[in-house]
Structure 1
Amino acid sequence: MNSANTPHAPCSCDRLRGAFAAPHCGARRRDGGSCQGPAMPNGRCRMHGGASTGPRTPEGLARARRGNWKHGRCTARNLALRRMIAKAGRDLE
């Protein structure tokens, strides 16, 4: 068999064949070509997927609020308590 007539060896790896069959991102690159990264369910790759739209469900919103909790110093309850203590201090003077 002459290797000059066959430029590439046939691929026998099923996973690699599946990767080539997967849909690609297709976003335009800076050099003018299109991105060949494998697409996620939204149709874009992990780099060109776009910004997050944020939580939509009430459970997701509650989870986001809990995740952003730091110390509780500036909660409405604590601010009201500090105002009440300051007012009590002013009334004592």
Structure 2
Amino acid sequence: MHGAFAADRCGAKRRDGGACQQPAMRNGRCRLHGGKSTGARTPGGKAKAQAGNLKHGRFSADAITERRELRRVLHLARRTLRDLAALA
């Protein structure tokens, strides 16, 4: 066989249920099913991709740290109020 005919096949599921028969690239998929995508390379591109995946930020490291700090402050305030009530 010659070149492209001997190449591995994509195998992605087509809309009709069959497997795509396009020649696969290094990641195992053809150019139509993600073979050309290698992901972001530059710091700016990586930041853009990461920002695009953020839905609400509730579980981001910053949000978790902020909630922990708030919990600590509230605990300290409750303890202070309890101590003041005991003195009165």
Q: Aligning the two structures, in what range does the TM-score lie when normalised by the shorter sequence?
A: 0.3 to 0.5
TM-score in terms of structure 1 length: 0.46
User: Which is higher, the Rg of structure 1 or of structure 2?
Assistant: 1
- Judging by fraction of residues, say which structure has more helix: 2
